Amino acid sequence: MNKQKRAVAIHDISGFGRCSLTVALPILSAAGVEAVALPTAVLSTHTGGIEGFTYRDLTEDMIPVAEHWKSLNIAFDAVYTGFLGSFEQLDIVKTFFDDFKTAGNLIFVDPVMADNGQLYKIFPPEFPLGMKELCKKADVIIPNITEATLMLQEEYVEGPYTKEYIDNLLLKLSDLGPAQVVLTGVFFDDKSLGAATCNKATGEIDYLMDKKIPGYYHGTGDVFGSALLSGLLNGFPLKEATAIAVHFTTGSIRKTVEAQTDIRFGVNFEQTIPELLKELKLV
């Protein structure tokens, strides 16, 4: 049996409303990866369409946790970051990358900060430039199109997109430094939605699409990112891992639509995990 992979997920945790750590940990674990958590904040619920949530910032705990892990010589096959709530947290995570980077592991950054053409309201206008600096230290980044344009200081364009436009974004993101770039929220018509990938070493660009399901579903970025990392850690190349993540995310949305679940509660990824494991060839 191959040595079990270990990944640390540096995200917030929302007690209710499937996203961030409550998505990343079970998906990685189901994929056979030892999932370690470094929480950045604790919320009663996620913040998308739910009022009155509680919020506790854990910034001051992050450095002591990392230092304890260093003292134990704990190593990670992947460091996976999601929502980071401040410049201070960005700086802490950059130091974490320096301390835990090895020749063979993956620094995997989901630059969670914007969607639908808008920076999240909690962030100051200059935050994307801070996130850009974090992405320069990554091996893999997975921005959506809004996040990509903000980091590149380009005007956001509404879809449907052209291949030339997406190719251009991918190449500019690749120039930041990451060996692999995955751009999410890509669509060329009303029928398909998916992701585009760029492998810096080969210059290869690929498009991995699935049937588009109308509507906006909270937490799908975390579902996608966690499934993509699961694929990479199970030995799949970027193109195949991205295809697996696209299919898993679409399948989770489909089950949510069929169950008529309140979309604020996240997508039904739990009952879609058996399909993910088949695609990962784990069952």
Domains of the chain by residue range: 6-279
CATH 3.40.1190.20 is held by the domain 6-279: yes
Residues 208-263 pLDDT 10s = 999 999 988 999 999 999 999 999 999 999 999 999 999 999 999 999 999 998 98
Residue 64, pLDDT score: 98
Residue pair 127/110 in contact by the 8 Å Cβ criterion: no
Decide if 81 contacts 131 (C-beta within 8 A): no
Predicted TM-score of the model (pTM): 0.97
Span 183-202, pLDDT tens digits: 999 999 999 999 999 999 99
pLDDT at 37: 98
- Number of Cβ atoms within 10 Å of the Cβ of 190: 10
Per residue in 26-83, pLDDT (tens digit) is 999 999 999 999 999 999 999 888 999 999 999 999 999 999 999 999 999 999 999 9
Q: What are 127-164's pLDDT values in tens digits?
A: 999 999 999 999 999 999 999 999 999 999 999 999 99
Instruction: Give the span between the Cα atoms of 27 and 269, in whole angstroms.
Output: 8
What is the rounded (10 degree) CA torsion for 116, 121, 126, 128? -40
Percentage of the residues of the chain whose pLDDT score is greater than 90 = 94
Q: Give the whole-angstrom CA distance, residue 156 versus residue 229.
A: 27
User: Residue 266: is its pLDDT beyond 80?
Assistant: yes
> What local confidence, expressed as pLDDT, does residue 263 receive?
87
Q: Evaluate if residue 107 carries a pLDDT over 80.
A: yes
Predicted local confidence at residue 2, as pLDDT:
79
8-41 burial: b if 16+ Cβ within 10 Å, else e = bbbbbbbeebbbbbbbbbbbbebbebebbebbbb
Q: Name the pLDDT band for 1 (thresholds 50, 70, 90).
A: low
Q: How far apart are CA 178 and CA 243, in angstroms?
A: 20
